[in-house]
Structure 1
Amino acid sequence: MKEDNLDRLFKNLENEFDNEMPEDGHEQRFLGRLKSNSNVSDKKPKRTFYKPFLAIAASIVLCFGLFFFIHNKPQENGLASVSPELSQTKDFFTAAITSELNKIRDQRSPENEMMVSDALKQMELLEKNYERLKIDLKDSGNDKRVIYAMISNFQSRIELLENVLKTIEDIKQLKEVKQNQMTL
């Protein structure tokens, strides 16, 4: 059915097609009109041989930049920079502190809110003290006294968090005892 419509269309337009050759100079007139309407020229485009070289140069500069950026990262100063054993020690203490903090956050309630917020403030002070110790360690050239102070700082943080958890547990037990006494 579609072919019939198409055939009919061509039969109806049979004598209306323009199949004659254009007059002489048609191409020149066409290019002249085209040129007057836009900035298109009939000149061949210039080949630019420097573009591939610029791309290669930019790639090399990028590679060197990444290389220097990766190798010039600031070294961590702290226990991890002294020795692999102290790095493991730092990782151990950090994991223990994170674990204790998560336990405290899980047991946070309106009854112990003041105690928890006070403990978190004390943790911030110990963290600031640790940052100062890192600077001292760098300045002192890995002095053992500073290393011991840093380890002591970690131990103080863990003790603080353990004490807070113990106190929270004591408060819970007291609350349960009071509830049991009231129900009797």
Structure 2
Amino acid sequence: MKKDDIEQLFDRLEGQLSTKEPSTDHQTRFLEKLQSTQPVKETPVRKLNWWKPLAVAASLALVFMVSLTWNTNPDAKELADVSPEMEQTQQFFTQTIEKELFEINAQATPETQAVIDDAIKRLGDLEADYNNLKSDLAESGQDKRVIYAMINNFQNRIDLLEQVLEHIDAIKNLNELKASTL
């Protein structure tokens, strides 16, 4: 029967291995060297808290559902009712806003929660302004100033969301910088 590799190694090195004990001050010298080196910094493991991003997503969904169902004037017209070009414009802005909101939700953290909540409040204000503009459009009969104001409202929403994304990126970069300097 063949011996294990480790046993063969010990058999081959028999008599060549040092069995002497290290000197008495060896351990103290070793510990001094070990303590003189810089300590290894441990990075804390962050637990991902799913409740806050889910709360943000739910609140955004609620804002959109309320804005779609809440209509102060049943005769109010949408921008899409003006012409096929305005319908395409409204679809473009709506899709862009939804995309930006999705990105914001994807990047939500406890540090950015206050910024996101403020943005949701400001979006609600812009949505209320838009509802007033819809009523004005119905009353004015496609006044170009009202149409321009509606388009401007959409642009303001997109600008707001882009500013929020930039703010979130700045917060993330600051946190990464802090983490790298620790």
Task: Normalising by structure 1, report the TM-score.
Answer: 0.57
**C-alpha RMSD of the superposition:** 1.3
Deviation at 1:181, TM superposition (A): 1.2
CA distance in 1, matches of 2:77, 2:130: 11
**Counterpart of 1:131?**
131
**Per-residue Cα deviation, 1:17-62 (whole angstroms, up to 9, x for no partner):** xxxxxxxxxxxxxxxxxxxxxxxxxxxxxxxxxxxxxxxxxxxxxx
1:1-184 aligned at under 5 Å gives the runs: 77-182=77-182
SS of the aligned residue for 2:108 comes to coil
Q: Which runs of 5+ in 2 are unaligned?
A: 1-73
Shift of residue 76, structure 1, vs aligned partner: 7.2
Q: Give aligned-pair identity as a percent.
A: 51
Whole-Å separation in 1 of the counterparts to 2:75 and 2:106? 35
Q: Is 2:77–2:134's contact at 8 Å kept on the other side of the alignment?
A: yes
Look up the SS of the partner of 2:111 in the other structure: helix
Letter in 2 for 1:81: D
Q: How far apart are 1:93 and its partner, in Å? A: 0.1
In structure 2, relative to structure 1, the CA distance for the partners of 1:112 and 1:122 (3 Å cut) is same
Q: Secondary structure at the match of 2:142?
A: coil
Structure 1: where are the runs of 5+ without partners?
1-73
- Secondary structure in 1 matching 2:112: helix
Task: String of CA shifts for 1:55-79, please: whole Å, max 9, x gaps.
Answer: xxxxxxxxxxxxxxxxxxx887111
SS of the aligned residue for 1:132 comes to: helix
- State the distance in 2 between where 1:75 and 1:106 align: 37
Partner SS for 1:109: coil
Q: Secondary structure at the match of 2:77?
A: coil
If asked which structure has higher relative contact order (CA below 8 Å, sep 6+), I would say 2
Q: Which has the larger radius of gyration?
A: 1
Q: Which amino acid aligns with 1:164?
A: V
Q: Provide the TM-score with structure 2 as the length reference.
A: 0.58
Tell me the secondary structure at the aligned position of residue 111 of structure 1: coil
| Distance of 2:137 and 2:123 partners within structure 1 | 21
Q: Which has the higher helix share?
A: 1
The 1:75–1:138 alpha-carbon spacing in structure 2 relative to 1, beyond 3 Å, is closer
Distance in 1 (alpha carbons) for counterparts of 2:145 and 2:75 = 21
TM superposition shift of 1:170: 0.7
